[in-house]
Structure 1
Amino acid sequence: MAARTPHPLVSVVIPCYNHGHHLQEALDSVFRQTYPHIEIIVVDDGSTDDTKQVAQKNHGVIYYYQANHGPSAARNKGIRYSKGEFLVFLDADDYLYEEAIATNLAYLQQQEQLAFVSGCHDKVYDKAGKIVPEVRKVHQNHYTHLLKGNYIGMHATVMYRRRVLEDFMFDYTLRGCEEYDLYLRIARKHPVLHHTAKVAAYRLHHANTSNNVPLMLHTAMEVLKRQENQLQTTEEMKAYTEGRKAWQYYYTEQLLAKLQKQKSLSMYEYYNLLRYDPSLSLRNTFSSTSTVTIMNQMIKYIPSSRIRNKLKFILAGTATPRPGKVALGDFNRYTPFSTQFGYDRGGPVDRYYIENFLEQEADSVKGRVLEIGDNSYTVRYGGDKVTQSDILHVNNSNPKATLIGDISNAPQIPDNTFDCLILTQTLHLIYDFKGALHTCYRILKPGGTMLLTVPYITPIDYGEWEDVWYWSFTDKALKRLMQETFPKSTAEVTPHGNAFTAAAFLYGMGLQEVPLDKLVFNDPHYQVTITVKAIKS
Structure 2
Amino acid sequence: MKISVLTPSFNSEKYIKKSIDSVLAQTYTNWEHIIVDGGSTDDTLAILKNYSHLNWISEPDKGQSDAMNKAFKMSAGNLIVYLNADDYFYPNAFQDIINVFKNNIGVDIVVGNLHIDRNGDITPNTNATVSWKDLSIIKGRFPLNPVSYCYKKCVQEKIGNFPLNEHYTMDYWFLLRAFYLFKPVKIENFLGCFVFDGNNKTSVIVDGFSIQMPHALKFAIRYTPQRFFYVYKKLLLHKRNKSHVSLLLKKLRKKIRK
Q: In which range does the TM-score fall when normalised by the shorter chain?
A: 0.7 to 0.9
Question: Which position in structure 2 is the counterpart of 1:66?
Answer: 59
Superposition pairs for residues 213-292 of structure 1, below 5 Å? 213-214=205-206, 216-229=208-221, 230-231=223-224, 238=230, 241-242=233-234, 245-246=237-238, 248-249=240-241, 275=243, 278-279=246-247, 282=250
- TM-score normalised per structure 1: 0.43
Question: Which position in structure 2 is the counterpart of 1:160?
Answer: 151
Question: Which position in structure 1 is the counterpart of 2:70?
Answer: 77
Deviation per CA, 1:107-137: give whole Å up to 9, x if none: 22222332211111111111xx311111116
Q: Distance in 1 between matches of 2:123 and 2:245?
A: 27
Corresponding residue SS for 1:19: coil
Q: Distance in 2 between matches of 1:44 and 1:247?
A: 38
Q: Distance in 2 between matches of 1:11 and 1:19?
A: 20
Q: Is the 8 A contact 2:5 2:83 kept in 1?
A: yes
Q: How far has the Cα of 1:72 moved from its partner?
A: 1.0
Greater relative contact order structure (CA < 8 Å, 6+ sep):
2
Q: How far has the Cα of 1:151 moved from its partner?
A: 2.4
Deviation per CA, 1:405-435: give whole Å up to 9, x if none: xxxxxxxxxxxxxxxxxxxxxxxxxxxxxxx
Q: Is the 8 A contact 2:236 2:246 kept in 1?
A: no
Classify 1:71/1:276 alpha carbon distance in 2 versus 1 (closer, same or farther; 3 Å).
Answer: farther
Deviation per CA, 1:295-323: give whole Å up to 9, x if none: xxxxxxxxxxxxxxxxxxxxxxxxxxxxx
Question: Which position in structure 2 is the counterpart of 1:92?
Answer: 85
Percent sequence identity over aligned pairs:
21
Superposition pairs for residues 37-48 of structure 1, below 5 Å? 37-48=30-41
Q: Distance in 1 between matches of 2:239 and 2:93?
A: 29
Q: Distance in 1 between matches of 2:28 and 2:245?
A: 47
Deviation per CA, 1:51-93: give whole Å up to 9, x if none: 2111121120111123131111111111111111111100001
Q: Distance in 2 between matches of 1:164 and 1:40?
A: 19
Classify 1:15/1:278 alpha carbon distance in 2 versus 1 (closer, same or farther; 3 Å).
Answer: same
Question: Which position in structure 2 is the counterpart of 1:135?
Answer: 126
Question: Which position in structure 1 is the counterpart of 2:256?
Answer: none
Q: What is the letter of the counterpart of residue 86 of structure 1?
A: L
Q: How far has the Cα of 1:166 moved from its partner?
A: 1.7
Q: Distance in 2 between matches of 1:237 and 1:113?
A: 32
Corresponding residue SS for 1:15: strand
Question: Which position in structure 2 is the counterpart of 1:9?
Answer: 2
Choose the corresponding residue for 1:145, options 120, 134, 143. Answer: 134
Classify 1:198/1:277 alpha carbon distance in 2 versus 1 (closer, same or farther; 3 Å).
Answer: farther
Q: Distance in 1 between matches of 2:26 and 2:232?
A: 38
Choose the corresponding residue for 2:11, options 6, 18, 27. Answer: 18
Deviation per CA, 1:260-314: give whole Å up to 9, x if none: xxxxxxxxxxxxxxx4794355568xxxxxxxxxxxxxxxxxxxxxxxxxxxxxx
Q: Is the 8 A contact 2:137 2:216 kept in 1?
A: no
Choose the corresponding residue for 2:184, options 192, 198, 201. Answer: 192
Q: What is the letter of the counterpart of residue 107 of structure 1?
A: V
Unaligned residue ranges in structure 2 (runs of 5+): 253-258
Q: Is the 8 A contact 2:169 2:212 kept in 1?
A: yes
Q: Distance in 1 between matches of 2:190 and 2:10?
A: 26
Q: Is the 8 A contact 1:85 1:162 kept in 2?
A: yes
CA RMSD across the alignment: 2.5
Q: What is the letter of the counterpart of residue 122 of structure 1?
A: H
Classify 1:228/1:84 alpha carbon distance in 2 versus 1 (closer, same or farther; 3 Å).
Answer: same
Classify 1:113/1:163 alpha carbon distance in 2 versus 1 (closer, same or farther; 3 Å).
Answer: same
- TM-score normalised per structure 2: 0.86
Q: Is the 8 A contact 1:47 1:68 kept in 2?
A: no
Corresponding residue SS for 1:103: helix
Q: Distance in 1 between matches of 2:237 and 2:146?
A: 23
Q: Distance in 2 between matches of 1:70 and 1:102?
A: 31
Classify 1:247/1:194 alpha carbon distance in 2 versus 1 (closer, same or farther; 3 Å).
Answer: farther
Classify 1:54/1:237 alpha carbon distance in 2 versus 1 (closer, same or farther; 3 Å).
Answer: farther
Q: Distance in 1 between matches of 2:62 and 2:26?
A: 30
Q: What is the letter of the counterpart of residue 198 of structure 1?
A: F
Q: How far has the Cα of 1:210 moved from its partner?
A: 1.6
Ranges of 4+ aligned residues in structure 1 off by more than 4 Å: 236-241, 243-247, 275-278, 280-284
Q: Distance in 2 between matches of 1:183 and 1:89?
A: 13
Q: Distance in 1 between matches of 2:249 and 2:123?
A: 34
Q: Distance in 1 between matches of 2:134 and 2:73?
A: 30
Q: Distance in 1 between matches of 2:121 and 2:81?
A: 26
Question: Which position in structure 2 is the counterpart of 1:104?
Answer: 97
Question: Which position in structure 2 is the counterpart of 1:183?
Answer: 175
